[in-house]
Amino acid sequence: MQLGAFRERGGAESFQQRVSSELDWLAPLMAVFSEAPLYRLQAGPYASRDEAQGAAQRVRDALQLVPVIIERR
């Protein structure tokens, strides 16, 4: 699940801290990935797409943020 994409690592890390403070259950699942030219804040992995969609709904409800379900290979 992708929560955001940023031009600077600091922006991604700052947003990660904000989300962690509001959704402590998500904190251990989050990481910043460097994929030039962006830094992507993502959470996972999830065992299934349904599990990821459930987590995305919880994020939507709590933060009024629309995460994107992605598949990392």
pLDDT digit string, tens, across residues 10-66: 999 999 999 999 999 999 999 999 999 999 999 999 999 999 999 999 999 999 999
> What local confidence, expressed as pLDDT, does residue 64 receive?
95
Q: Which two tokens stand for residue 51?
A: 């599990």
> What local confidence, expressed as pLDDT, does residue 33 receive?
97
Q: Does residue 72 register a pLDDT over 80?
A: no
- Among residues 35, 38, 67, 11, the alpha carbon closest in space to that of 26 is found at 67
| 2-63: in CATH 3.30.70.1070 | yes
> What local confidence, expressed as pLDDT, does residue 26 receive?
98
List 42's β-bridge partners, or say none.
Answer: 2, 31
Q: Quick: pLDDT tens for 42-53.
A: 999 999 999 999
- Residue 24 has what DSSP assignment? T
> Rounded to an integer, what distance in angstroms lies between the CA atom of residue 73 and that of residue 61?
28
Per-domain boundaries in the chain: 2-63
